[in-house]
Amino acid sequence: MYARPFDYAAPSSLEEALDLLSANPDAKVMSGGMSLLPMMKLRLLSPTLVIDIGRIPGLDEIVDQGDHIAIGALVTHAEVAASDLIAAQATALGQAAAWTGDAQVRNRGTLCGAVAHADLAADTPATTLALGATMVARSTRGEREIAAEEFFVDTLQSALEPDEILTEVRIPKRGGGSAYDKLGRRGGHTDYAVAGVAVWVADATGSDARVAVTGVGTKPQLATAVMDALGAGTPIEEAAARATEGMTVLEDLHGSEAYKAHLAAVFTGRAYAAARENAR
Amino acid sequence: MTETTSVLGGAVRRREDPALIRGTGKYTDDVNPTGTLHVAFVRSPFAKAKILSIDTTAAAEAAGVVAVYTAEDVRHLGPLPAQVPVRPRPLLADGQVAHAGEAVAMVVATDRYLAQDAAELVFVDYEDQAPVIDLKAAQAGDVKAHDDMDSNVIISWAGGPFGDEEAIAATRAGISAAKEREDAVVVSLEMTNQRLIPTAIEPRSVHAEWNAGYGEFRVHSSTQIAHALAGAIARVFGLANSAVHLTAPEVGGGFGAKLNIYPDEILTCFAARSLGRPVKFTETRREAAVSTIHGRGWVATATITGTRDGEILGYELEGVADMGAYTQNFTAAIPFLGLFIGSGQYTMPTYWKVDCVLTNTVVTDAYRGAGRPEAEYYLERIVDAYAREIGMDPADVRKKNYFDTFQDAISPIGFAMDTGDYAKNLDALLAFADYDGLKADRDRMRAEGRLVGIGLSSYVEVCGFGPSGLAELGFSWSEYNLPSSFNGSALLRVTPEGGATLSIGTGPSGQGHETTWAQIVNRETGIPLDRIRVLHGDTKDSPTGIGSFGSRSLAVDGAAAHEASQKVTAKASKIAAHLLEAAEEDIRFGDGAAHVAGSPDASVTWAEIAKAAYQPHLLPEGLEGSLEAHALFSPGNATWPFGSHIAMVEVDPDTGDVTLLRYIGMDDCGNVVNPMIVDGQLHGGAAQGIGQALHEHGIYDDMGNLLTTSLVDYLIPTAATLPAFELARTVTPTHVNPLGVKGIGEAGTIGSAQTIVNAVVDAVAHLGVRHIDMPLRPKRVWQAIQDAKGA
């Protein structure tokens, strides 16, 4: 629990942070530090420089931009969970944020940090997939937008380039309804997801469903087989059984491949029903 | 429902809490004299390996490094002292490692980070060997934990009765005959009581200074046994006990894991003495998983032979218990503590045998309950399975086989139990829980298609060690330069202004001793609570002390505090009688003063009495100055608390997730001093039993890698996963101490794990599930349901 030596910088502007990051390819960007610091303390990760973006003004807001909700890089899980705007327009994200970690983690950890960390069992990334979010990445080279489905590349690997900072997550205001449900490691909604599923539907009949799973495979990902089946009119009971089709399901201490695939199907059904309810 | 007063005291708020809550309490890691050096250990990645060579050159030259030690440097100190040293451990692995995480080298540097950096530069050449991890494989013995051993089985504990081979054979023959009866029902289950990792909120920490001028160690350690640790250090370094001043300051949880002597405690002293500078070692959370003892780790088959109408004719338990790679303080004696209560609250003939095996894993030792949760788990699970088999209510089966109300009964295992009133306790629980109503609730929810179950379990436990005679059973403190007894020690001094200081032999780690002991002194002397200071966990304050473990503090040291208070009060009576010119037998104490019976106006305060005691010319002739007393208390027996618990659970049929709906307890620990503190002990105890039932599991792979070294993978219960406990009490005092109290620190743990498992099995039994091994994580419950469906 003692990190290797590293330098620390706390820039006061995004430009300064981007310059530092551009000049130090081994640097790591820190917002809440809830994932980065434990990895450093375990010496699993030893960046030469930590760039703490926590003091940069203007990144800590949730803003209604008309057609989308913009969530800044320093917005915490607790703030996401407490937002009326998110509860109304992106219910699944609010639920996932509320069920992330514990109160201390939610008070320090950030949505953008969790998304950039790309943990295979994190809650909120699955909801960004179901809600069709767009990630905004900045570097000294400029700004680009990355669709959620392009963002999660592999375990702990996102589409961010080494010189990019995730400055914002944009959740489109698509209407309809959404929901997230999971089984946590201590049961219920506690802890990391053994399996978690986020669903968005266009209306109470469940049209145009978008379904994303987390916890079971190498990364949070869209359950395209379920989405296709539902689109083709397959009943949810049957469609949900295809929740992990095409995915690599990983056995771990908390479940076998078969059990985790089964859980993905169970929570697909539950989240789908809840999303339809929320679309009323 | 719980009353807030008791015959002995009341729900006085814990005086410890302001410091602990506000962060002003001092822990060992807060001890930071100028120049303190820091320790990092190099630990083996292999479970079993020969050490071919160790190259410390690069580490020794690294920034900030002051010293690097290996076995060669410390071999002359001998192995780690232990009470039952069947296979004592070297202070640092010496040519051979026997478990992953065993310390191989020790780096001392000017700060903790640099020490850790340098530890990465120690190069160890290992030749890895096939380890033995699985318990049954260890029992079979094809692979040995240590190459020089003929068998991995180091001791077997058998009864009953304990220690009588002929009688044991007769018991076995009797049970065999019972199995042949026409009306015999035989119910048997093999069950695992899994390895647990004690998880105190404060990891262990030790700080040592050596004063070469005085020839004296000054040591702080996060330990439950200050005097024993000081004695062990004295013994290793050839010093008088008085040359080791050891303080256990605030200790943030122990649960038995700090009831031990650890190599790092001796090594930190060695480094401090060798280097002439203060040295500190604080384990990290992840390191604690391999540098502090584990608990439990049994596989056993429990069998009940009984009649169709609920009469139990015999109980057999045959199993194997995991000792880990070495024996530390009590390691090999832990299953013996289970044997003590092997027949539980019942009268049936009992055969009990547990083999203790060494494996290439972290050493096991006392963890909250220590052998007794295992014993009660097996017994109460199989009693439940038997009740289910014959279609009888589990409460009725239990009552039918209980001991009747007793004082000084001998258990089928052969041990004398102090007092018990088991049926009264269970009946009180059934009434308190509205058992019939609860069952009706369950049945109503089942009718809705929900999987709801009720689990019942009762327990007896043995604690409050205790009798000096325990030394004859092999428990001995002489390895630590202490008398071979379990005496309580209390030194009460009335201070010159009329307050009091109690120096006690216990070392609390959150139990509220300062409050409880002050209540005991206050009750006897009348000195106001806020004028009584309680000192503990320090070898300079208390002449001796065995420490806090085995739910012994109140029943032994608390009783000593009571007796010291009586002695002081007796002398104060003489002084007061003299000052008041009254007869000694008319003196009564209360409200901070001595009064004369029948003369309301005649009184003298403790301040006036103390003044006289410290100015001997004011004393009556023949009475010496000072007003203090030291009491050693040695009870005639341990105490045997008991109780009954009920849990109501719901299982999610789709996921296997278990939700705890209700948890109801009726415990009996004799008289109660502070009801709030007793409830708190039960809450924490039950939380740990529930943790074992539902979440906790120290998991090894086949190569001996511990897979659960962080709290991400080693799951402990949280406030959010526990229900509001519903607790009440019956009161059956003991006669083995003057307070009539029994221990309560472990009862919640001993009574709870099987209550939960019984409830979950009740919820899914109709699907064909007979048993599920702990922890009942969702995946296991779901799998059990699938397997039953497939069968």
CB of A102 within 8 Å of a chain B CB? The answer is yes
The DSSP secondary-structure symbol of B36 reads: -
A255 to chain B, closest Cα gap in Å: 6
- Per-residue pLDDT tens for B214-267? 999 999 999 999 999 999 999 999 999 999 999 999 999 999 999 999 999 999
A187 vs B112, B287, B658: nearest CB = B658
pLDDT value for B4: 52
Average model confidence (pLDDT) for chain B? 95
Say whether A186 and B708 touch across the interface (CB within 8 A): no
Average model confidence (pLDDT) for chain A? 97
Report whether pLDDT(A14) > 90. Answer: yes
The DSSP secondary-structure symbol of A110 reads: B
**Taking Cα atoms as reference points, which of B574, B568, B411, B382 lies closest to residue B493?**
B568
Interface test with A, best of B285, B286, B654 (most A CBs within 10 A): B654
pLDDT value for B720: 86
Task: List C-alpha distances in Å: B493 to B230, B507, B523, B614, B625.
Answer: 24, 19, 16, 12, 12
3-state helix/strand/coil string of B567-601: HHHHHHHHHHHHHHCCCHHHEEEECCEEEECCEEE
pLDDT value for B466: 78
Residues sharing a CB contact under 8 Å with residue B437, sequence separation 6 or more, in sequence order = none
- Per-residue pLDDT tens for B473-483? 667 788 888 87
Task: List C-alpha distances in Å: A199 to A82, A123, A217, A246, A272.
Answer: 20, 12, 17, 18, 6
Say whether A253 and B699 touch across the interface (CB within 8 A): yes
Say whether B657 and A256 touch across the interface (CB within 8 A): no
Question: Average pLDDT of A165-187?
Answer: 97
Round to whole Å and give the CA distance between B179 and A178: 61
B721 vs A187, A255, A266: nearest CB = A187
Q: What are phi and psi of B635, to 5 degrees?
A: -70, 160
Report whether pLDDT(B532) > 50. Answer: yes
**Taking Cα atoms as reference points, which of B769, B745, B750 lies closest to residue B658?**
B769
Round to whole Å and give the CA distance between B520 and B516: 6
Give the CA count within 13 Å in the CB-facing half-sphere of A210: 21
A266 to chain B, closest Cα gap in Å: 7
ω into B160 cis (within 30 of 0)? yes
pLDDT value for A141: 97
CB atoms within 10 A of CB A22: 15
Interface test with B, best of A259, A260, A266 (most B CBs within 10 A): A259
No. of helices (H) and no. of strands (E), chain A:
12, 14
CA Rg value for chain B? 27
Query: Which chain A residue's Cα is nearest to B690?
Result: A186
Cβ B554 vs Cβ B233: under 8 Å:
no
**Taking Cα atoms as reference points, which of A47, A3, A50, A44 lies closest to residue B116?**
A3
Say whether A259 and B699 touch across the interface (CB within 8 A): no
CB atoms within 10 A of CB B36: 18
CB atoms within 10 A of CB B439: 14
Handedness of CA A183, B385, B688, B159 (dihedral sign): negative
CB of A263 within 8 Å of a chain B CB? The answer is yes
Question: Average pLDDT of A19-39?
Answer: 96
Residues of A in contact with B285 (CB under 8 A): 1
Query: Which chain A residue's Cα is nearest to B783?
Result: A259
Report whether pLDDT(B3) > 90. Answer: no
pLDDT value for B6: 64
- Per-residue pLDDT tens for B726-761? 999 999 999 999 999 999 999 999 999 999 999 999
Question: Average pLDDT of B641-649?
Answer: 98
Say whether B113 and A1 touch across the interface (CB within 8 A): no
CB of A256 within 8 Å of a chain B CB? The answer is yes
Question: Average pLDDT of A18-46?
Answer: 96
- Which H helix or E strand runs over A71? strand A68-72
pLDDT value for A186: 94
- 10 Å CB burial of residue B628 (0-12, 13-18, 19+) is middle
Handedness of CA B579, B580, B586, B589 (dihedral sign): negative
Report whether pLDDT(A267) > 70. Answer: yes
Report whether pLDDT(B1) > 60. Answer: no
Say whether B779 and A187 touch across the interface (CB within 8 A): no
B396 to chain A, closest Cα gap in Å: 33
Question: Average pLDDT of B425-432?
Answer: 98
What one-character-per-residue DSSP string does B282-325 give?
E--HHHHHHHS-BB--EEEEEEEEEETTS-EEEEEEEEEEEEES
Between strands B658-668 and B725-729, the pairing is parallel
- Per-residue pLDDT tens for B444-502? 999 999 999 999 999 999 999 877 766 666 677 888 888 767 889 999 999 999 999 99
In the three-class reduction of DSSP (H, G, I as helix; E, B as strand; rest coil), residue B501 is classed as strand
The DSSP secondary-structure symbol of A215 reads: S
Q: What are phi and psi of B392, to 5 degrees?
A: -110, 150
Round to whole Å and give the CA distance between B18 and B22: 6
How would residue A53 be classed by pLDDT, with cut points 50, 70 and 90?
very high
- Per-residue pLDDT tens for B310-333? 999 999 999 999 999 999 999 999
Question: Average pLDDT of A215-220?
Answer: 96
Say whether A266 and B718 touch across the interface (CB within 8 A): no
- Per-residue pLDDT tens for A65-95? 999 999 999 999 999 999 999 999 999 999 9
Round to whole Å and give the CA distance between B505 and B524: 19
pLDDT value for B477: 82
- This model of the complex carries an ipTM of 0.96
Residue position matching structure tokens 């002995």: B8
Copy the structure tokens of residue A216: 């079971």
Query: Which chain A residue's Cα is nearest to B701?
Result: A253
Give the CA count within 13 Å in the CB-facing half-sphere of A162: 9
CA Rg value for chain A? 18
ω into B394 cis (within 30 of 0)? no
3-state helix/strand/coil string of B701-744: CCCCCECCCCCCCCCCCCHHHCCCEEEEECCCCCCCCCCCECCC
Copy the structure tokens of residue B517: 């002991």
Round to whole Å and give the CA distance between A257 and A248: 9
Say whether A183 and B655 touch across the interface (CB within 8 A): yes
Question: Average pLDDT of B691-706?
Answer: 98
Round to whole Å and give the CA distance between B535 and B532: 10
Say whether B284 and A187 touch across the interface (CB within 8 A): no
CB of A237 within 8 Å of a chain B CB? The answer is no
Torsion-angle region of residue A206: left (phi > 0), alpha (psi -120 to 50) or beta? left
Query: Which chain B residue's Cα is nearest to A259?
Result: B779
